[in-house]
Amino acid sequence: MRVIVPLVLISLILIGLVGYRVRSEAEVALGPSGGSGEVEATTVDLSSKVGARISKVFVKEGDHVRKGDLVLRLDCSEPLAMVEEAKARVAAARAQAKAAGANVAATERSRTAALAGQEAAKAQAAALQAQMEAAQRQADRLAAIPDDVPQSSVDQTRAQAEGLSHQLEAAKAQGNASAAQARAVSAQIGASNAQAEAAKAQINAAESGLVRAQLLVEECEVQSPVDGEVSSLPLHEGELAKPGGVLARVVSLQEVTATFYLPNAEVGAVKAGAPAEVVADAYPDTKFTAKVRTVALEAEFTPRNIQTRSDRDRLVYPVEVVIDDPEAKLRAGMPVQVTLPGTEKPRAQ
């Protein structure tokens, strides 16, 4: 008798458990569509273009950070030296450009003076030409006058005309020299202008180098680009960071999602924007509202031959929902159960 009673009790308990399991499975089978998934969050890996030693870490793993908060600082001695060098290059390039500009102005003045000399020589030659022609005409008139005009006067006039002729040649030579000087100065102006343009290009190159150096300096202070939680700090103060290496990992909980899978028979009942409910294992008494963001266009699994209904039901489609979590209770990796209110699983045929 003592043995029979415990056996009966155990049998009743087992029957109750089986009945509960059957009812639960029936409720799930006849309930709204849904599935299991995990909470997913945006993970941001912080890195730097600069390879340098870590001089200071301002946060710990698990700390909450705001967008723009300083996470860590790198030793910027070398980038700062590059900035100073770039500034010196900019100053030298500007001084060279200033000298080139002054040279252009000086050659412009020289050309103006040469052109003025050329014009003056032309005017002088024209005046001498007129004087020479007048002296020659005067000598010809005196020679045609009767014998009472002294020969000395004729000779003097002709000598004057000849002297004017020599002065005319000298003036023409001076004009040619001024013209040659003007041409030479014009060529020099072209060279000076080219030098000035090269100096401007050097300024642009030096300023670009300065901007690059300043950007590298900014890379030495690593800031969080999002509000979130520091999940990982792979390196510590004093360690050498490589360019592009992960220095910190921040998980943003501003938007959390979950992805579950619907079988082929149920995927037609859900569309983007449809409401959803999410229950996390960590908060079994709390229902989080959610909204369907995407329903995949292609199945995750396709059997080799799709011939029967059961084969077609093997097709599953990923569905992503965005979860409303204003209190930031959910964490990445938490298992959740997603249901789609208003939908109904098709009955087995």
Strand-by-strand arrangement of the 240-241 sheet:
221-223, 70-74, 52-57, 240-241
* Residue 185 forms part of a structural domain: yes
Q: What is the pLDDT of residues 11-66, one digit of tens each?
A: 667 766 665 454 544 444 455 788 899 999 889 999 998 888 999 999 999 899 99
Tell me the C-alpha to C-alpha distance, in Å, between residue 104 and each of 95, 221, 249: 14, 45, 58
pLDDT at 59: 93
Q: What is the pLDDT of residues 322-332, one digit of tens each?
A: 999 988 888 88
Range with the poorest average pLDDT among 183-192, 225-234, 284-293: 183-192
CATH number at residue 267: 2.40.30.170
Confidence of residue 115 (pLDDT cuts 50, 70, 90): low
**Cα 222 from Cα 250, distance rounded (Å):** 12
- What's the whole-number average pLDDT of the chain? 77
pLDDT at 178: 63
Same domain, 194 and 94: yes
Provide the residue range defining the domain that includes 60.
33-74+229-339
pLDDT at 12: 66
* Residue 25 forms part of a structural domain: no
Is the pLDDT at 146 greater than 90, yes or no? no
Mean pLDDT for the stretch of residues 80-87: 82
Same domain, 176 and 45: no
Pick the residue with more confidence: 142 or 305?
Answer: 142
Same domain, 70 and 86: no
Is the pLDDT at 150 greater than 80, yes or no? no
Same domain, 188 and 238: no
* Residue 131 forms part of a structural domain: yes
CATH number at residue 141: 1.10.287.620
Same domain, 89 and 214: yes
Same domain, 157 and 259: no
Confidence of residue 111 (pLDDT cuts 50, 70, 90): low
Mean pLDDT for the stretch of residues 245-259: 90
Same domain, 53 and 161: no
pLDDT at 346: 59
Please state the domain count of the chain: 2
Last residue of a domain, one of 197, 218, 239: 218
Confidence of residue 93 (pLDDT cuts 50, 70, 90): confident
Q: What is the pLDDT of residues 286-308, one digit of tens each?
A: 999 999 999 988 776 644 444 44
Range with the poorest average pLDDT among 86-100, 132-146, 199-213: 132-146
Is the pLDDT at 10 greater than 90, yes or no? no
Confidence of residue 144 (pLDDT cuts 50, 70, 90): low
Last residue of a domain, one of 199, 218, 237: 218
Mean pLDDT for the stretch of residues 64-73: 92
As given in the structure block, the two tokens for residue 64 are: 């909450």
pLDDT at 187: 63
* Residue 345 forms part of a structural domain: no
Pick the residue with more confidence: 306 or 216?
Answer: 216
Is the pLDDT at 235 greater than 70, yes or no? yes
* Residue 259 forms part of a structural domain: yes
* Residue 113 forms part of a structural domain: yes
* Residue 11 forms part of a structural domain: no
Short-list 59, 79, 74, 80, CA closest to 224? 59
Short-list 335, 345, 337, 344, CA closest to 39? 335
pLDDT > 70 in the chain, percent: 60
